Structure 1
Amino acid sequence: MKKLILSAAIVLGSLSLFAIPVKNNQSLVHTVVIGDEYTEIKVADLPAVITESLLKAFPDAEIQKAFVNENNEYKLEVKLGDKTETMYSDANGKWMDK
């Protein structure tokens, strides 16, 4: 009977070792990379094709700021009347949706 009680105590004791919480000291780091980072350029440095295309589509438009990314895509902040809109164009002056 002693052996049975001792065996039960050992089995139950060994099962309680698995219930001990484990501390994780490693932290998770998430990195987000945005591929469409634009750098600001002077409005005068815009290709003439883009400026002409904008004035053809919106004769009363006024370019406030201009940006370019590494794919040679342009982001324009354009004032149309009372509103300021963001427009995107490729290097050939074709408008893009983003």
Structure 2
Amino acid sequence: MKNLVVATAIVLGSLTVNAATTPSLENAVNQSVLIQDEFKEVSADAVPAAVKSTVEKSFPGTKLEKAYVNEKKEYKLEISKGDKKYIIFSDAAGNIVK
């Protein structure tokens, strides 16, 4: 009888854990798409020298593949080293933004 009560408690406990609501993945995807839509692609020549200098110093041996800018003059930079690609964000002064 004691085992039946313990087993029932375990089953009910596990059901309540599964009943917890989780954030919708659809909302997370929509938010990330909205953030990325703010950036417009620009040529590598349009990237300020301070930003290029920071990339060269912070990520030696990398190549600037693509650059994007938003209304706040923040830059999204796609850089590569060999076959690996990275995305970094910087402001117009060359400070890395997280």
Does TM, scored on the shorter chain, surpass 0.5?
A: yes
TM-score (norm 1): 0.61
| Rg (Cα) greater in structure | 1
Structure richer in helix, relative to its length: 2
Shift of 1:35: 5.4
* Structure 1 residue 87 corresponds to structure 2 residue 63: no
CA RMSD of aligned residues (A): 1.7
Cα distance between partner residues in 2 of 1:35 and 1:79: 22
Post-superposition CA distance 1:47-68 (Å, at most 9, x none): 0000001101112010000000
Q: Which one-letter code corresponds to 1:67 in the other structure?
A: Y
The whole-number CA distance in structure 2 between the counterparts of 1:89 and 1:80 is 18
1:62 matched to 2:63? The reply is yes
Gaps of 5+ in 1: 1-31
Are 2:79 and 1:71 aligned? Answer: no
Q: Matched residues in 1 for 2:53 and 2:95: separation?
A: 11
Q: In the TM superposition, what is the alpha-carbon distance from 1:96 to its structure 2 partner?
A: 1.0
Gaps of 5+ in 2: 1-29
Cα separation, 1, equivalents of 2:91 and 2:81: 20
Give 1:48's aligned residue.
49
